[in-house]
Amino acid sequence: MENNETQLMEFFQAHLVLTIEDLKNIFHTSSRMTIFRKLKPLSYKTSYSHCGRYYTLDTIACYNRHGIWGYNQIYFSKYGSLKNTALHHINESPAGFSSHELLVLLKVPVANAVLDLWKDGLILREQLQHSYVYFSISEKERQLHSRKQEIINTCTPVIMTGADDHFLFFMSLLNEKQRRLFAGYESLRLGYGGDKAIAGKTGLNVKTVSRGRIELLNQNVDMDRIRKAGAGRPSVKKTKKF
């Protein structure tokens, strides 16, 4: 048994993350039950992303302050499954969480998970500013009060009306990719409806703002491929007819 555990730990230390198929190949077996029997003595975690396809050890995962570890866009939580992780963060949040806010934090869609938690009576929800915010059962009143205070404090748009000219001038100094990423960042700051609001403010296509936001969420930014000045489509100019 000790040899099996040592062998398994060595493979995890070498590869950090493994799938069931990897483990079957390591132990030359087709039985999932055999694999889980060998995993049982170890403190292991299943990814909450990718439908739980990946496995790692707690001794390998470098959890951040939110209890999350990401490896090659595969995400693990010290709290276990996506539902358990979402439940923990909702319960511990000072002002509850919307699905979008949890997506930003956990890097994966959580709408179905939090809806199931709500249907199971494990959390509460309230519709605020055209979206649902989820709250702890025991701390809802405190969290809701804090959330409403946040809404009051941030009711002024992030991009102030009096600063529009300065903002647009700043945007004009950026290249195409920088504009897209900055617009995506501002959309994340605004939260729900941010893509549309920033598109209207900047004149960018809403899909461009959305793409920049998603690139930031996925941390998928290749700065070596930023377009140089003059790249892209040529501007369309009207020609005078005679």
pLDDT at 64: 94
Mean pLDDT for the stretch of residues 222-227: 56
pLDDT surpasses 90 at 139: yes
Same-domain status, 96 and 115: yes
Name the DSSP class of 50. G
For the segment 213-229, the average pLDDT, to the nearest whole number, is 67
Residue 230 lies in a domain: no
Instruction: Band the pLDDT of 165: cuts 50, 70, 90.
Output: low
Average pLDDT of the segment spanning 135-142: 96
* Boundary-marking domain end, from 34, 55, 77: 77
Say how far apart CA 195 and CA 203 lie, in whole Å.
11
pLDDT of residue 8: 83
Q: Which ranges in 120-239 belong to alpha helices (H)?
A: 140-153, 164-172, 176-190, 194-202, 206-217
Q: Please determine, for residue 142, whether its predicted confidence score (pLDDT) is greater than 80.
A: yes
Tell me which range, 5-9, 141-145, 157-161, 171-175, is most confidently predicted by mean pLDDT. Answer: 141-145
Residue 70 domain-assigned (yes or no): yes
**Is residue 236 in a domain?**
no
Q: Domain total for the chain?
A: 3
Position 3 in a domain: no
Q: What is the pLDDT of residue 233?
A: 45
Please state the rounded mean pLDDT for residues 132-139. Answer: 95
Determine the average pLDDT of the residues in 144-156.
76
Are 92 and 142 found together in one domain? Answer: yes
Domain membership flag for residue 240:
no
Instruction: Choose the final residue of a domain: 77, 104, 130.
Output: 77
What would the pLDDT profile of 1-38 be if each residue is shown by its tens digit?
A: 456 678 888 889 999 999 999 988 888 888 889 888 88
What pLDDT is recorded for position 157?
A: 47
Which range has the worst mean pLDDT, 47-56, 176-185, 194-203?
194-203
Residue type, position 236, single letter = V
Domain with 188 in it:
161-225
Weakest-pLDDT range from 158-162, 196-200, 206-210: 158-162
Could you tell me if 87 and 42 lie in one domain?
Answer: no
181 and 121 fall within a common domain: no
What mean pLDDT, rounded, does the chain reach?
82
CA dist 140 to 90, 105, 121, 125, Å?
10, 20, 13, 9
Task: Note the pLDDT tens digit of each residue in 38-92.
Answer: 888 888 999 999 999 999 999 999 999 999 999 999 999 999 999 999 999 999 9
| CB-based contact 91:103 (threshold 8 Å) | no
